[in-house]
Amino acid sequence: MSQITLFTDSRVPCPQRLLLTIHELGLQIKDIREVDISKFEHKRPEILELNPFGAVPFIRDETYDPPLMLTESRAIARYLAQAYGSSDASASLLPDPTNVVAVAKFEEAASIELASFDACANQLVFEELFKPYVLSEHPTLPIQ
Ligand SMILES: N[C@@H](CCC(=O)N[C@@H](CS)C(=O)NCC(=O)O)C(=O)O
């Protein structure tokens, strides 16, 4: 069991990216706190105090003193893979750092995911799923 608290809204894309990594690693999360972004819980003072960016996901890992607070789903995913992944290189989610070709191909795929795939897919999810739902709950919100 890890010493990690995960702050998340499991329904939305950035947290789901992280949940996939957690699943692949078989990692046991000590505490999962759901933060309902459709109710703007991520903008509450107690959450902003932990993550001033006012977004999910983020983690607190109490393995360290002081605990590690980390935002950004991709940074968290890489941290978890590094810190909690298999020591067997063939089972690792990350490339062997001494293999420059493997690292280059990993960075290429990571850039494509961020710059090409996510740039479109995230906007699509926002327009087709999130915006209609939030506007039905909060019709006067100035979201475009
Ligand atoms: N680049 C950040 C983006 C975080 C982000 O924007 N998360 C969304 C959910 S997918 C969120 O919390 N949105 C609410 C808001 O920004 O007000 C990451 O990958 O973690």
Give me the pLDDT at residue 144, please: 58
Same domain, 23 and 40: yes
pLDDT at 122: 86
- Per residue in 71-127, pLDDT tens? 999 999 999 999 999 888 888 999 999 999 999 999 999 999 999 999 899 889 888
Going by C-alpha positions, the residue among 120, 119, 89 that lies closest to residue 106 is: 89
- What residues have CB less than 8 Å from 5, skipping those under 6 apart? 29, 30, 31, 32, 33, 59, 60, 62
CA dist 115 and 117 (Å) reads: 6
Determine the structural domain holding residue 38 and report its residue range. Answer: 1-87
With a CB cutoff of 8 Å and minimum separation 6, the contacts of 21 are 76, 77, 80, 81, 93
Please indicate, yes or no, whether residues 34 and 15 belong to a single structural domain of this protein: yes
Classify residue 45 by its DSSP letter.
H
**pLDDT score of 143:** 67
* Ligand 1 atom 14: residue of nearest CA: 55
23 and 1 in a single domain? The answer is: yes
- pLDDT of 132 reads 85
pLDDT bucket at 129, cuts 50 / 70 / 90: confident
pLDDT of residue 137: 77
Look up residue 118 and give its amino acid. D
Tell me what pLDDT residue 49 has: 97
Looking at the structure, tell me whether residues 100 and 81 fall in a common domain. no
The pLDDT, as a whole number, for residue 52 is: 96
Q: Pick the residue whose CA is nearest to atom 12 on ligand 1.
A: 55
120 in the same domain as 78:
no
pLDDT, tens digit, for every residue of 38-87?
Answer: 889 999 999 999 999 999 999 999 999 999 999 999 999 999 999 999 88
CA of 84 to the centre of ligand 1 (A): 24
Pairing between β-strand 58-61 and β-strand 4-8 as defined by DSSP bridges: antiparallel
Q: Compute, in angstroms, the gap from residue 13 CA to the centroid of ligand 1.
A: 8
pLDDT at 90: 82
Distance 72 CA to ligand 1 centre (A): 8
Residues 130 and 77 in one domain: no
Mean pLDDT over 14-21 rounds to 94
Task: Say whether both 17 and 77 belong to one domain.
Answer: yes
**Which residues 6+ apart lie within 8 Å of 19 measured at CB?**
8, 10
Number of compact structural domains in the chain: 2
Q: Please, are residues 15 and 9 in contact by the beta-carbon 8 Å criterion?
A: yes
In a mutational test of the pocket of ligand 1, which residue from 56, 70, 80, 141 has the highest number of ligand atoms less than 8 Å from its CB?
Answer: 56
Q: Is 56 in the pocket of ligand 1 (CB under 6 A)?
A: yes
CATH number at residue 49: 3.40.30.10
Ligand 1 atom at shortest distance from the alpha carbon of 73:
20
131 pLDDT above the threshold of 90: no
